[in-house]
Structures are given as structure tokens and as C-alpha cells.
A and B are shown apart, each in its own frame.
Chain A
Amino acid sequence: MATTTSIAVTVNGTERSAQVEPRMLLVHFLRDELGLTGPHIGCDTSHCGACTILLNGVPIKSCTMFAVQADGQSITTVEGLTRNGDLHPVQDAFKEDHGLQCGYCTPGMMLAGAALLASNSDPSETEIRMAISGNLCRCTGYQNIVKAIQRASRAMAGNGAPERGKTEGGEA
């Protein structure tokens, strides 16, 4: 025990190898080993969604998975939404619509929103609210977060950007 296991994970499009203790949570691996502080830790009980990442394009809580389980998988953090310095339409829209206040929930909200738009390019307000229902925000009252995801949906429909939205961040 307390031995380490080697893992190779594609994180935001780049393969990263590391030695990890099996008990290391994925969120700690991303933050402490890779320096990706986009995934936040907002609770100890798997409730808040601040740690949301995309696992093979699917949003999950990175505090409720072990880093060893990510071996051979592809992960996108909020850092990976940006491409060549350009913000993802969801990130742009959060800026435009003031979809954040303290910012603690924001990486998770953006990833949940981007994942929704990748599978449903024209979601209803209810579908948006359901898609972010695992992500808690103490500040905004959600109104501007929903507005921002709606704006991103329109932007992606209008400027040919859906291609990027459709792919998970890693391979875009």
C-alpha cells in the first residue's frame, strides 16, 4: 500500500504522465500535480459541482473519482475551453452577460454549459436549468448564467462555431 501507480491522461489535448497514489482524487491531481486550478473544491460531500470537468466530453465531479481511474481517458478542464487564446463562446457569453460574481462556480458552470451545447445546440431554458442543476452558485441567482448559455447557443449557431462546441475541448 501507499505504492504509486503510473497513469497517462490526456488533459486539455496534451498527454500527461504521472505517478499517483491510488487514493488521490482526480481534482487534487489536476490542481496540485498539474497546476490546473480551474477545477475548484467547494465541498467535501460531492454536492456542489465546483470541481466539474469533462471526462471524454461528459461532465462529472472530479472530487468523486480517483486520478488512477483517469488513466487512458481524456479530460477537459475550463483551461482547455480556450483555443489559441480565443475564448470559447460560452466563456465570451459569461463575460458579456455578467454570468459570474465571485467566480467560484464558474468553471463548472461553463463546462456544464459547453457540454450541453455540444449535444443540444438549441436548448430550452428548462433544459439549460436542468443541465446546470448539479452546479451550485451562491451569488448570481442563476439568471445571468442561463442568459449566458443562451447567448452562447445563439453565437455558436450564427458564426459556424458549433464545430468546436461539438468536439470535446481536448480534440477541438
Chain B
Amino acid sequence: MIPAAFDYHRPASLADALSVLDELGWDAKLLAGGQSLIPAMRFRLAEPTAIVDLNGLAELERFEEADGYLHIGALVRHATIADSGLARERYPLLADAAAVIADPLVRNRGTVGGSLIHADPAGDWGSVMLAYRAELAVRRVDGDRIVPIDELFVTTFMTSLEPSELVTSVRIPAAGTGQGGAYEKLERKVGDFATVGVAAQIALAPDGTVGAVGIGLTAVGATNLRAAAAEQELLGSSADEAAIASAAARAAAESNPSADGRGSEEYKRDMVRVLTARALRRSVERARGTV
């Protein structure tokens, strides 16, 4: 199927991109990997009259640790993270998720920024970023701001960003000792969107109890969800099997899945419990350095 006609802009710099965006407002759509936007345009679910192509803007391709953060440029592809030694060694939650997003062909194009702003509750990065308590660096022509991930998702396919705003990067706290994370995804087949996904990130305190924990849920609500009650349940505990089991039960209770071709509500809710327990167990093992 053929998308509706549009004007094509390929800005030479970030500043140019921001001014084109400012001028065109709602009529324009940013194009990153195109792996969500182009299919939507082919089905005429999206009919932007102007496309602003971000590909080639080196300012958006940063992937490095600096100032106490890991900065992930908005244009960093899923495959770059899946292949990254830095991610595997220090950010296993990132590496876990990158490897199971879509298929290798989509991973070679799709980006972290595009995925977050597409705001599909079945998207994997949203849960990962909730677990890491990530922040988005957002620019517009006359300023910039930091958007905490908890303030990003409004509802399915809708974020709190203005049409004139552009995500330049996402930052997560730099990895430290005693930290670990894991992503668990249940899918019908390789390359499928999640039936259910769970992201967990844990920091152990010096006495071995849970000092900080983030849990994000995929495909069980109108947006990626933070399992706040489950986090509370685990915080301060010794992360033993009993604590993990009750946190997992909390996560299942606070999830809000709908029945569809991938399973019933009841099944998905129970899978939240199972996958939360698995993700927490692996996070704790990684945090303790036992794996």
C-alpha cells in the first residue's frame, strides 16, 4: 500500500530540524527508523503532510557514559545496543531487551527514541526505561527540558511531548557495583511483539538488602506500566524467594491486560507474575555477581 503524499525534509543539522518542526507543527512527523511510522503511513493510519528525516544527524547517535549517566542518542538503533559490549557488561537489561525486539532487519533500522515516542504499550523500551528510571533530553527551537520517563506516556500512542519537540537522547544512571537488571519477554514466535514483558533493575545496599528497584511492564495496559506496588514490596527486603514471590504477585495484581489473540486476561496476568519473578531473580543474581 502506498502512503499519502508528503513533503520531504532532510535537515542538515539538529538546529535546522528544530526550526522546520517549529514552523510546521502538527503537520510534520519526525522520521527515525521508520519501522513504526512507515507501516502506519502505508495503512493511512498516519497521513503527515511533511516528513522531517532525522537519519544522518550525528548529534543524535551518541552512545556513551558521561557525567554519571549512560546517554543513548535518540537515533541509536536497537541493533547497536544488541551488539554493544558496554551494554552486555554493564547494562544487561538493555542488552537483554535489544536482543528480543522485533527481528534483526527491524533492529537494524528501529531506534530507541522512535520506539519511546511511538508509545506502543507493547513496545519493549518503555518498560526498560521505567525500570531504569530514565530521563529524556528534549529540545525545541527555543529551549530544552528533561522529561522523566514517568511523565512521558499519556495513553496508547500518545506522549506528553509537544509537536515542536524532539528527543535528542535518553539517559539512565551509570551502572555501579551491586546493580543488576534483566528483561523477560514472552512471545509467540521470534520477532513478535510481547504477549507480556517485564523489565527489572535492582541496586543492592551494602548490607545486601534491596536499596532501589524499578519494574516496568510491557503489553498489559494502555501504556508501559510501572509496577509501583511490587517495587514497594521488594524495597528493603533481602530479595529472597518469599519477597520475590510477593512482589511478583503484586505486579500481577496491578497489571491491566486485555484479552486478544495472544491470550486471555487471566493468562496474561499470571504471566506477569511468572515473568516478574524470573526478571527479579536474574536481576538479583546479576547484582550479586553470581552470574
Instruction: Identify the A interface with B (CB < 8 A).
Output: 1-3, 5, 21-23, 25, 44-47, 49, 52, 58-61, 64-66, 68-69, 71, 112, 130-131, 133-135
Contacts and interface: CB of A to CB of B under 8 A. Distances in A.
Contact of B104 (A2, A64, A112): A112
Interface in B16-72: 31, 34-35, 38-39, 41-43, 49, 51, 53, 55
Identify which of B3, B10, B38, B191 gathers the most chain A CB atoms within 10 Å of its CB.
B38
Contacts of B8: 5, 22, 66, 68
Contacts of B104: 59, 112, 130-131, 133-134
A136 B285 CA distance: 36
Contacts of A61: 105-106, 109
Interface string B178-200: 00000000000011000000000
Contact of B103 (A23, A44, A49): A49
Interface string B6-18: 1110100000000
B contact face: mostly helix, strand, loop, or mixed? loop
Given A23-B2, A46-B39, A66-B8, A1 B103 contact: no
A1 B5 contact: yes
Contacts of B6: 1, 22-23
Interface in B96-154: 102-106, 108-109
A46 to B, nearest CB: 5
A46 B5 contact: no
Contact of A60 (B3, B10, B51, B105): B105
Given A59-B108, A130-B104, 11 more contacts: A1-B7, A22-B6, A23-B41, A52-B105, A60-B109, A61-B105, A68-B8, A68-B53, A69-B34, A69-B55, A112-B104
A2 B4 CA distance: 9
Nearest to B43: A44
Contacts of A21: 5
A64 B109 contact: yes
A63 to B, nearest CB: 8
A66 to B, nearest CB: 7
Interface in B221-270: none
A23 B4 contact: yes
Nearest to B83: A119
A46 B33 CA distance: 13
6 contacts: A45-B39, A58-B108, A59-B104, A64-B38, A112-B105, A133-B191
B5 A22 contact: yes
Identify which of B39, B53, B105, B109 gathers the most chain A CB atoms within 10 Å of its CB.
B105
A45 B102 CA distance: 13
Contacts of A22: 5-8, 51
B5 A64 contact: no
B291 interface: no
Given A61-B105, A64-B38, A69-B53, A44 B1 contact: yes
A25 B42 CA distance: 10
A5 B53 CA distance: 14
Contacts of B41: 23
Identify which of B31, B103, B191 gathers the most chain A CB atoms within 10 Å of its CB.
B103
A25 B106 CA distance: 16
A134 B38 contact: no
A145 to B, nearest CB: 15
